[in-house]
Amino acid sequence: MGVRDRIRLTTIEKVIERKLSTSKESNPYENAMKQLESTASIIKLDPDVHEMLRYPKRILSVSLPVRMDNGHVKNFQGYRVQFNDARGPFKGGIRYHPNVTLDEVKALATWMTWKCSVVDIPYGGAKGGVICDPKNMSMAEKEAVTRRYTAMIADFIGPYRDVPAPDVYTDSQTMSWILDTYSQIKGYQVPEVVTGKPIALGGSEGRNNSTARGCIICAREAAKELNIPLKGATAAIQGYGNAGSWSAVFLQELGVKVVAASDSSGAIYSKNGLDSAQTLRHKEKTGSVKGLQGTEEIDAEKLLELDVDILIPAALENSITADNAGNVKAKIISEAANGPTTPEADKVLERNKVLVVPDILANAGGVTVSYLEWVQNLNRQHWAEEQVNAQLEQKMVSAFNAAYQTSKKYNVAMRSGALAIAIQRVADAIKLLGIWP
């Protein structure tokens, strides 16, 4: 496992801790349905279509008996929720965690549907999960769980049915096992059954930094709308994992001065700006951004309230809340993380005229390049990174402009605009297809 992967796992652990602390307060699927309800009123969604979108198309619950290293059999519970495929094959990651719940997987499948739609790629939304503790499992045990899970859902996935990808505590190795198991069942190699694979098995160039690249493309386009010159602009990054560290690289390339960064251990600040490569090397060496020469340590919570042009939340859920949103001074927030802003905070930020590029759009670069990987696999091609990045650029700019203009059309925040265009596209597809039989 590479250093960037280890950094990413540390960030994921913090996200999960935050998620567990708030799980008692809200049901994720109920939240997803509230978003649907709110957006339905904005776009005047056909009541019949709304009724169809209240429920996943298919929910698979599978039993996974696995012989563990101690010789005994242990049974695991697995899920695959396929929410909607009106716009194309189901698409969504698979997560391994002891606190996976069916409602969580249903919510994530719902949000994947909107995410694929807002960037206008021909996928529906799905999500998978296995209740297990991968941190206390050997590599052989994780492989056995993965192959059993794949065998149990094999009749319901495939290049034109459902294309899984990595998520929490799964990675390119997990995808390799799924690819091999599915291919053994089919009798021939089917690389296009999953995305997020190693390059050697058909993975795409540019996939490792695609989430950050898409996020910074969105921040750049937002700056254009607000007439903020990027050369000399300032930024702060919460979370210096994979998405955060690559965001720093891309911001620096645009001439933006990243003055602050944080990780799970603390935060640093330098009015002269941080060098992205130097900061990452320091983190790789010490395990934290803290202590970087030429910087001062600041309160991690205060990083969100710095007087900067661009804020990149790339770490925790629910980081920007009603308690601190009023102190946010950034003009643009581009959400690299999932759910960093609470609904209550959204209202405050909108009132204060902060342009928030929502996670459903800002971090969709990953699934966009997953789509490009799938296209390459279907055609047995392998594109240069420049070609992948060019197509990602076109997709993200087009999606940003569509969501921004939709928000203006309905006079709503960009989050609502992104959901409006995403849900409307799915609704249009459903109405055109009709109901059969």
Region 167-178: mean pLDDT is 95
Find the catalytic residue in 106, 115, 127, 283: 127
| Euclidean distance between CA atoms 213 and 247, whole angstroms | 7
Statement: residue 184 has pLDDT above 70: yes
pLDDT digits (tens, 9 = 90+) for 25-71: 568 899 899 999 999 999 999 999 999 999 999 999 999 999 999 99
Domain boundaries, the chain: 3-192, 210-362
For domain 3-192, give the CATH number: 3.40.50.10860
Statement: residue 202 has pLDDT above 50: yes
| Euclidean distance between CA atoms 288 and 280, whole angstroms | 9
Statement: residue 6 has pLDDT above 60: no
Q: What is the pTM of this model?
A: 0.91
The pLDDT score that the predictor gives to residue 138 is 98
Would you call 24 a catalytic residue per the annotation?
no
> Which of the two residues, 31 and 24, has the higher pLDDT score?
31
pLDDT digits (tens, 9 = 90+) for 387-433: 999 999 999 999 999 999 999 999 999 999 999 999 999 999 999 99
**Exposed (0-12), middle (13-18) or buried (19+): which is 31, by Cβ within 10 Å?**
middle
Q: State percent of the chain over pLDDT 70.
A: 94
Question: Residue 320: which pLDDT band, with cuts at 50, 70 and 90?
Answer: very high
Statement: residue 259 has pLDDT above 60: yes
The pLDDT score that the predictor gives to residue 21 is 43
Q: What is the CATH architecture of 210-362?
A: 3-Layer(aba) Sandwich (3.40)
pLDDT digits (tens, 9 = 90+) for 220-238: 999 999 999 999 999 999 9
Q: Identical fold at 3-192 and 210-362?
A: yes
Statement: residue 4 has pLDDT above 80: no
pLDDT digits (tens, 9 = 90+) for 338-360: 889 998 999 999 999 999 999 99
Within 10 angstroms of residue 411's Cβ, the number of other Cβ atoms is 9
Contact, 388 vs 369, CB < 8 A?
Answer: yes
Region 119-126: mean pLDDT is 98
Statement: residue 219 has pLDDT above 90: yes
Statement: residue 10 has pLDDT above 90: no
Within 90-138, residue ranges assigned H as helices are 102-118
Statement: residue 166 has pLDDT above 60: yes
Region 300-317: mean pLDDT is 94
Region 204-209: mean pLDDT is 96
Distances (CA, A) of 218 to 226, 336, 389: 12, 10, 14
Contact, 126 vs 109, CB < 8 A?
Answer: yes
